[in-house]
Every structure is written in C-alpha cells, then in structure tokens.
Structure 1
Amino acid sequence: MEGVEEIVIAGAGLAGLATALGLHRKGVRCVVLESSATLRASGYAFTTWTNAFRALDALGVGDKIREHHLLYERLVAFSASTGEAAAKVSLKMQGKSVPHEIRCVKRNFLLETLENELPEGTIRYSSKMVAIEIEEEGNVKLLHMADGSTIRANVLVGCDGVNSVVARWLGLPKPILSGRSATRGLAEYPDGHGFGPEMLQFIGQGFRSGVLPCSDTSVYWNFTWYPSPADGDAEESVAKMRRHVLARLTAAKIPAEALDVVERSEMSEVVSSPLRFRSPLALVRGSICRGGVCVAGDAFHPMTPELGQGGCAALEDGVVLARCLGEAFAVGGHGSAEAALEKYAQERRWRAVRLVTAAYVVGFVQQSSNPAIKFLREKFLSGLLARVMVDMADYDCGKL
C-alpha cells in the first residue's frame, strides 16, 4: 500500500535495535522511531549473561562485545552486616550447551554496535510517537507524532520503555512501584583498577549493592534501597545522592576499594529512579499483541534488577520477534504478520512471567530487614539466590 511502512519499531533501546538488526539480517526492512536526538545510554552498563550472548551471537555481534569486556569467573555475595563472603559461585560451570558467559557491558558501546550494523537511515531520531489509531480502511496503524505529523504502518512494535504508549494502547496495566529505588555510576581507572574477574554483591542492611568491572580500566556500580523520609533530600542532586550512598555503605561493612568506586565515579543525570515491574498476572492475562501491534523489552516486561535480566531479556525478545516476523515478511516468507506476532507472544509470555517473578522474590529476600529472613539469608539463602541468577541465564532464545 502506498505511503505505508511495513514495520515500524518505536524506541531505539536494546529491544528496538535488536529487533531491527534481526530483521535486517533476515532481509526485512523496518523503520525505528527514537524520541531523543541521539542514542540514549542511561544506566551506564548492564550485566550481560549467557542468554544475552546467545542472542548477540544470533545477531552477529557477540564477538565485537566480547573483545572489549571482561569475562567473569565467579560471583561473590558479601553480607553487609558482617563483611564476610556469604556465598561464592563459580561462573565457569557448564550451561545447557556451552559454558556460562557473564560480562558487564557498557550500554553505549552495545547500542552503538547494534546501530552501526543497521543500514543508514533506519533510525529516525527526534521522532516521538504520542498516540495510535487504526484507520477505518483495513488494519493500518496511524501513528501520531509529537511534531504533528503522522506515519502509517502495517506492523507496530513497541519498544518504548516502561511508560510505553504502545503497551497502554494494548491495554496492559501500568507497571507497579516496587517501593525501592536505584542509582548507579561508572568509575574510570586509567592505570587499572585492580579488581579481579568477579561480580561483587553486598547484601543486607536494607540495601543491595554491586561492583562489576567492565574492562581493565572501568568499573560499574549499582545501589538499590528502600527510600524513607529519613533520607531527606538525597535524591535532589548527584552530590547529595553520592553522599547518601557512601554514608549507607560506610555504615555497613563494605571494603574501602568498593567505596572508592563510588567516590570517583561519574553518576547518571537521573540521580535515582524508582524500580517498577509489571505484575506477572498482568503478563498472563494481558494482550502482548493485537491487530499487528506488539511490545518488547521494558514496554513488555519491566522488572526489578536483581537478576540482571532486563536488558538480556530485551535482546532475547529482539531475536525471537525478528525470527517470527521474518517468516512472514522475508522473500519467500509465509504466514501473516498477525500470526507471526501471536507466535512471538506465545513463546515469550511465560519466559517473561518467570523472570519478573524471580527478580521480585530475589530482591525481597536480599533486601529484607526481617530478622528471620536475614538469618536464613546469611546462613543458607545467599548461595541459593546466586545460583538462581545463574540458572535463569541458562536459556537459549535460538537463531534467527
């Protein structure tokens, strides 16, 4: 149909770019609409687990990511109360078909790598979608943009984040506030940081913190906690937030080298952000796709960060979605777009339910101040929780 884009993807985050690159590999053209003027790399870095590297390999960029990021050998979880290691888990163990592979990847590097593999002009920046309607003739989506223009599309993929316009159009309920907030930063060590190839977690005292080397010269950190009136105006500025984090970590038994990472780091312009998740029940009952429209990434399954699987699951979504749509749109393809999206939804729904549920439960146990849970966490549960993280990453979304 003249003047109609076959596939439009809203959002140039991990899910959007992964879907676009997967479609490109399948020989299918698409357009990506990004509301900002450039790629958005907020969050600095994210843990890229075995399942994410399987997805990146399917997209043909896995080795480019490996080349610049450290491979972890172990995960060590410390008690913030005692300063002692509560659990040590080897990450050299074998997965279902290949050894486990976990690295902390700089977000901007990954997004730029995905973008550079796409044909020029695929991404349209400063293109914010604000509303969707279905044209009376046929099943064409009319996308209303913030600048007053419109775009017509046969298929619309919503990768537009936790406040997704597409998810709202599908009728999915708003994500739920978890009651916790998170902040993060990245520290650079031009002469080397001295950390080993390991993920460090500090759990208890009402917070969860992680220190994760990205490369020989950069270290990412994160801190999640339950905000309270006693925190005052900590979230008003970067300086106040840094002081708040350092005060909480210093009051606990956190080693000096971990404190140094926070002290010297660059922090996000978004000083802290509330952690949201979509109810697993909403994912079971809700519409992930309808009438040639679907969601992926945080627009689909926002989750709390304890498993480190939000970005990884977004990459999985991209591969599965591109594979399903490729069957309908590639040269010699067969089937309808709506059937392809239904197949995608069927494959991804229960994976998302398991990840969201596990992340919430792990976070509750890790940060609970209940004396009984605290005792069980420090004596028995820390190792179990660490293994849950590894086991949830032992997943293969398949090839394109």
Structure 2
Amino acid sequence: MRTEMAEDMVIIGAGIAGLTTALGLHRMGLRSLVLESSDSLRVTGFALVLWTNAWKALDALGIGDFLREQHVLLDRLVFTSTISGLATSQLPLRADSKHESREVRSVKRNALVEALAKDLPRGTIRFSSKVVSIEEADNLKLLHLADGSILKTKVLIGCDGLNSVVAKWLGLEKPVSSGRWAIRGYAEYLGGHGLEPNFLQFFGNGSRCGLMPCDEKTVYWFFTRTPSAKYKEIEENPAMMKQFVLSNLGNVPEALVNAIESSDFGSIVASPLKFRKPWNVLWGEITKGNVCVAGDALHPMTPDIGQGGCAALEDGVVLARCLAEALLKEPGRESNSGVEDKEDEFNRIKMGLEKFAKERRWRSFELISTAYVVGSMQQSEGKVIGFLRDNLLSSLLSGLLLKKASYDCGKLNIS
C-alpha cells in the first residue's frame, strides 16, 4: 500500500536556490518542505564568488553578517594576460567614484549552505527523497518519490539543478554544453597564505584561471579551457588534472602555481560548463499554474561573470516575496486558505509565480548571455580578439561585471 502525504509548498532540491527560497518563506511566516535526494546537505565545489547583489540578498534573509565574519573582503579585481604576464586592467571592488558600497568575497560553499539551513525549522529538509515523476490532480501536484510514496502539494518549486525534473515537466530544453570544462580546487595553509585580498584573473592561449583568498588560511582557484581528447581522458584522475593545469598556466605568478601544487588531490574537481539557451528562458515556460523553477533549474550559466550562485540567492528572495504577497493578507499573517475557495487560492498562487517569472525572466536572460560572451572573449585564441581583449576590452569587461552585480533583489516584505 503506497503512502500519501500532503504539504502546502514543496521545494525540490536543497541547494542554494532551494534553501534560500525556504528560508525566505520562513521569514515571511510561510512553511515549506524541501526534498533532497542526497542523504545530507549538498556541497558541490569548494567556493564561489559572491558579489554585491548576493550580499543584498543575504542581508534580506538575515544571515549576511554571519557569513561576513568568516570571509575576507576583496579589495581589487586584477586582469592579467598569461601571454605577457602583465596586468591589463584593475578594478577597485570596495567603492566606486560615487562612493557607492561594493562587496565581493569568496565564500566557502559549505558555509553558505549551512548558514541558509541553520535557521530553518526542524523537519523542513527531508533527505533521501528523490522525485521521479510529477502528476496533476485538479489543482494539486502529485510527486512520486523513489521510495514509492506520493506527496500532494499546492505549490511546487523546482530548484533541482541542471537535470531538473521540474524543468523537464515544464517543457524547458536541456542545458547545452559550452564546449569548455572547469577544474577547481583549494589549498589550505595552516600558517596563513599571506596573500593580499585580491581577486586575480588570468587569461590567454585559450585558458582562463583565477585565484582568491576565502579567509586567512584558505585560497580558492579555478581553471577553464576547451578540452582536448587528452583532457577527457584525465577528468577522473586528480593527479593528472593537477599536472594538466600546471602545464597550461602560461605566464602567471608563483602564488597561483603554489596554490595548485599545494592542493590535495581530494580537493580538485572537474566538470563540463553548461548553460541554458538564453532564448529558452525568455520565451519558454518557467512557470505553469502552481509550478515554477529557480536557480540552476531556471538559468544554468557558465561561471565567467561569477553570477550563478548570486542569481540563485536573488531568485529565492524574489520568489519568497512574490508567494507571500499572493498568499498573505498582511505581513506576518497566515493565509486563510483553509476557508477560501480552492480555485481562488490556486489563482493567487499562479499570479504570485507569474510575477516571479516576470521579474526574473529578463534578468536570467541577461546573465546567461553576458557570461557566455565574456567567457568566449576571455578564452579566445584568436590574435585579433586577443589583442582587443588585452588592450581595449578589459575595462569594458570590468564594467560589465560591476553592472550585473549592482542589481538589488529587494527586501522580504509585502508592498
């Protein structure tokens, strides 16, 4: 006999977007259930860069200061050619000419995920819960889980990543390969690394890499390149991956070489870089009735402008606010869904999700497109593009990064 349960709101995926949405809803007085297929919190990759827009979202959630205490504030972004070894441009990260605040930090992914989860009510996350299919039943969605149980819900939010079952149900196309791979790692220095708090990026000869400190003892590095046949052979071998990176760095500082050499094999991971075609986000169905997607399930993008995780945080805040506006009569009061007509409740949920889609559709399109173009320019092996990049485009690229990071997702309140 199969087990059937019911929840008002279900979020699939306990990643950044899923946990942000759950915490945002909790701050607004709304309960949700997060289904996670793994048996514990997922931590894919060691660190990520969080720009100003991400910190605005974290402050809206009430956990910004907690994370600031653990991670250093970065001073400058420095672009350097691996061909000449010379810096092509520098960008201050703390403040611009108008003295507007900027904030960029390299944040450990486990610290971010744990901070998002720690204030959730007990029982909000249900681990080892894999959704295998979705079925409609009037205005409810029936989630069929791998263990044979069925979960009924009034709201379904897919934050289940690149291979999202919810995105597939909505009819969105699968993410496509960018043709590039990324190798990422970190190094720990028990006595301190002694690096200045700068975000260093290097590009040339078809590669792009970077180095930055997370705190006083830990540094994070990455390397991206279009793979060769040989590269595909070494993707499961960390020792060979490390050697591959070291042999393709070009003219870079000793600090980057040392960080890679000092990284344990267990800290090095490789993955293909995929993205959703931006027009699929613009014209595809990212919400339908009481179902929507967020995070990588909505806008997977290449990491070239460092906005994937930032956008997931934005999504969660905006989505929680839109649902609260739809379901709560006043801030802090629960929905009277127990007495109102079910059709009316469904329509209110639909309107809330459509408002979320309206706010996030163009933003997602811009981020995916910008990331792809920036990555293509930075990793181009063409002499003309290389010359323009090193001499004219670096300042333009810097401006693009700051422009995309100036976005404000707003507060968690009902207008």
TM-score, with length taken from structure 1 = 0.96
Which residue of 2 is the match for residue 85 of structure 1? Answer: 87
Which residue of 2 is the match for residue 280 of structure 1? Answer: 278
Which residue of 2 is the match for residue 360 of structure 1? Answer: 372
Distance 2:41 2:5 in 1: 27
Q: 1:1-400 residue pairs with structure 2 within 5 A? A: 3-94=5-96, 98-135=100-137, 138-231=138-231, 233-249=233-249, 252-266=250-264, 271-330=269-328, 331=333, 336-400=348-412
Distance 2:7 2:385 in 1: 53
Distance 1:189 1:238 in 2: 20
Alignment root-mean-square deviation, CA: 1.6
Q: After TM superposition, which residue ranges in structure 1, 4 or more long, deviate above 4 angstroms?
A: 95-98, 267-270, 332-335
Distance 1:203 1:332 in 2: 52
Distance 1:232 1:15 in 2: 30
Q: Is the 8 A contact 1:211 1:219 kept in 2?
A: yes
Q: Which runs of 5+ in 2 are unaligned?
A: 336-344
Q: Deviations over 1:289-345 (max 9, x none)?
A: 002000000000000000000000000000000001112333265971111000000
Q: Which runs of 5+ in 1 are unaligned?
A: none
Distance 2:283 2:396 in 1: 30
Deviation at 1:256, TM superposition (A): 1.3
Q: Is the 8 A contact 1:296 1:318 kept in 2?
A: yes
- Aligned-partner residue type, residue 350 of structure 2: E
Distance 1:21 1:151 in 2: 21
Change (3 A) 1:80 1:305: same
Percent of matched pairs sharing the same residue? 54
Q: Kindly tell me the number of residue pairs found equivalent between the two proteins.
A: 395
Distance 1:382 1:194 in 2: 27
Name whichever of 330-339 and 150-159 sits farther off.
330-339
Distance 2:359 2:157 in 1: 16
- Aligned-partner residue type, residue 153 of structure 2: A
Q: Is the 8 A contact 1:96 1:394 kept in 2?
A: no
Deviation at 1:359, TM superposition (A): 0.3
Secondary structure of the residue aligned to 2:48 is strand
Deviation at 1:352, TM superposition (A): 0.3
Distance 2:267 2:354 in 1: 38
Q: Is the 8 A contact 2:173 2:280 kept in 1?
A: yes
Name whichever of 286-295 and 266-275 sits farther off.
266-275
Change (3 A) 1:145 1:346: same
Deviation at 1:267, TM superposition (A): 5.2
TM-score, with length taken from structure 2 = 0.92
Deviation at 1:10, TM superposition (A): 0.2
Distance 1:94 1:258 in 2: 28
Distance 2:217 2:302 in 1: 28
Q: Is the 8 A contact 2:287 2:293 kept in 1?
A: yes
Q: Deviations over 1:131-161 (max 9, x none)?
A: 10101xx211010111111111110000000
Change (3 A) 1:93 1:288: same
Distance 1:276 1:13 in 2: 18
Distance 2:380 2:276 in 1: 21
Change (3 A) 1:269 1:260: closer
Deviation at 1:231, TM superposition (A): 3.2
Deviation at 1:98, TM superposition (A): 4.3
Secondary structure of the residue aligned to 1:236 is coil
- Aligned-partner residue type, residue 244 of structure 2: H
Q: Deviations over 1:359-395 (max 9, x none)?
A: 0000000000011001101111122112211211001
